[in-house]
Structure 1
């Protein structure tokens, strides 16, 4: 890596930390926790439908199933979500936003949209730095080493 790549990655991490801090503050100012905001955002953001399952939400939150169940219960107690059995598959429980939650997530998300628009250049710089390294997002160093070793043996 050259100095420009380190600078781009450093700037990206700095701006990402700033954004996450902003996001947490915006959620709290809206009267909910950052975790609750993320759950509501993911529910509102599912493509083609207005609900999600606990398993889907756990994946989106990168949280455990049990932790997501507890978060859904807290949101339900606070009037942010409702649970319903699926009409197509009674084994499936659908988590739905309440009208109050829809309004809340829209207000908080509007603040986020403005903050994200200011990060466009940072994302481009980080993407360019990663591309010049030949890296693939999400791959860990052990996987890369294993692939490198197997190519060396061939």
Structure 2
């Protein structure tokens, strides 16, 4: 869908978009390999990261994790069950609402996430310049309509 002031895309824009998607796919493939190398599925890694990175004042609820992970609630429940079985998280009852479950990282979950996060930060720093230049190429500075 176009918006007022959108200029037609150039061949260079299409190349930049393709290169950007390629860079994202490379990062995702890297991330999936790294998770597997640390004995986690990519989904478990994302769950641990969502629990640890949750911005709220308490540990995240299942519905908050469903939103963060963009999954259905029952899928998060199954993922959480497997993570509990693997000793990565615990499921605690919310002291303010006994109907809600909150996920908490275990020491094992924290250790695996810490190791993976260091590797991911290093990889993201490596990609920073590449992604930045691709985003600059897609920016508005060459669009005379802006």
RMSD between aligned alpha carbons?
1.8
Aligned to 1:106: 114
Equivalents in 1 of 2:19, 2:126: separation in Å? 13
Deviation at 1:77, TM superposition (A): 0.5
Normalising by structure 1, what TM-score?
0.79
Normalising by structure 2, what TM-score?
0.83
- The answer (yes or no) to whether the contact 2:62–2:100 under 8 Å persists in 1 is no
Structure with the higher helix share, 1 or 2: 1
Structure 2: tracts of 5 or more residues without a match: 1-8, 142-146
Aligned mate of 1:46, from 47, 54, 79:
54
Equivalents in 1 of 2:138, 2:96: separation in Å? 44
Instruction: Tell me the matched-pair count.
Output: 133
Which secondary structure does the structure 1 equivalent of 2:99 belong to?
A: coil
- The answer (yes or no) to whether the contact 2:23–2:131 under 8 Å persists in 1 is no
Q: How does 1:1-154 map to 2 (within 5 A)?
A: 1-47=9-55, 49=57, 51-132=59-140
Structure 1: tracts of 5 or more residues without a match: 134-154
